[in-house]
Chains A and B, each alone.
Chain A
Amino acid sequence: MNIKTQKTSDGVLVQVEGRIDTTNYNEFETAMNEIFKEDVNQIYLDCSGLNYISSSGLRIFLTIQKKMMGLGGKFKLFAMQPAIKEIFDISGFSSIFSIYADIDAAKQA
C-alpha cells in the first residue's frame, strides 16, 4: 500500500494505492490520524488506485466518517474502482459515504 497526503486550498487530499487489508490497515489508520492532528474541514480520498479492501479497512473508513461528521467536516471519496464500489454497496457503506466520480465532482459538491 502507498499513501500520499497533501494539503490543498480547501482541505487535505489523500491518495491510497494498492490493498488495505488486515496485514496493513494500521498504516492507513496512522496516516489518517496524522491528518486529524491539525484542523481539517474536508478530506478528499482518491480511491483510483485502491484495488482491494477488507473489513479491517472498511472500519477505518467508518471511523474517519464518524470523526469528520463530529467535526462538522466532510469526507469525500472519489474515483472508486467498480469492485471496491461493490463492496461498499453490499456493506451498506455506499449510502453513508459521499462517493464522487472524480475530484472535480467532489470539489463542487
Chain B
Amino acid sequence: MEGNPKNKTLVIRNNIDELKKLVVFLETLEDEWNLPPGLVPSINLALEEALTNVIFYAYEKGTENEITVDFRLNEGLITIVITDTGKPYDPTAKEDPDINLSAEDRPIGGLGIFLIKQIMNEVSYRRVDGKNELTMMKKIITK
C-alpha cells in the first residue's frame, strides 16, 4: 500500500446485472492494491447501495447510460467517485432511518444510503456540469 497514488476506473451501464462486474473488479483491486481483508466486502456493499439507486432511479426506463466509478488510493485513504448523467439526486440529503424501532414498526427498506454513511468515513455529493458526483472516502486501517 506504500508508494505513489493509484487510480483505477470501472464503467458500468445502468443495468442491475452490471453489479456482477463490480464484484469481479473489486476482487482484482484487492489483489492489485494489496488491500487488507474485510475491506472489499464493505466497499462492495457501499457501492452496491449507491449504484443500485442510480441504476433504478437516475434514468428513464429503457435508456442505456454509463456510470463511472473512479477509485483512488493515496496514503491509506481510498476515495471512490461515482459519476452519472441522470437526474439530479443527492443521496446524502436522505433522512436516516430510526434503527431503534421494533420489528413491527420498522419500515421495509430505506437502509441503503444509511449503510453507505455507516461504512464510509466521508460521503459527499455535488451536481456539476449536469452530472451527479457522489464521493465516498474510506480510511484503510491495517492491523
Chain A: residues with CB nearer than 8 A to chain B?
19, 21-23, 51-52, 54-56, 58-59, 62-63, 65-66, 69, 83, 87, 90-92, 95-97
**Residues of A close to B19: CB separation below 8 A:** 21-23
**Interface Cβ pair total, 8 Å cutoff:** 63
Contacting B103 at CB < 8 Å: which of A23, A54, A66, A90? Answer: A66
> Secondary structure of the B side of the interface?
helix
> Secondary structure of the A side of the interface?
helix
* Chain A, residue nearest B48 (CB): A54
Complex Cα distance, B99 from A51, in Å, reads 23
B40 nearest CB across to chain A (Å): 10
Task: Tell me whether A96 and B16 are in contact in the complex, defined as CB-CB below 8 angstroms, given that A21-B48, A90-B118 are known contacts.
Answer: no
Q: Is the CB of A23 within 8 A of B20?
A: yes
B25 nearest CB across to chain A (Å): 14
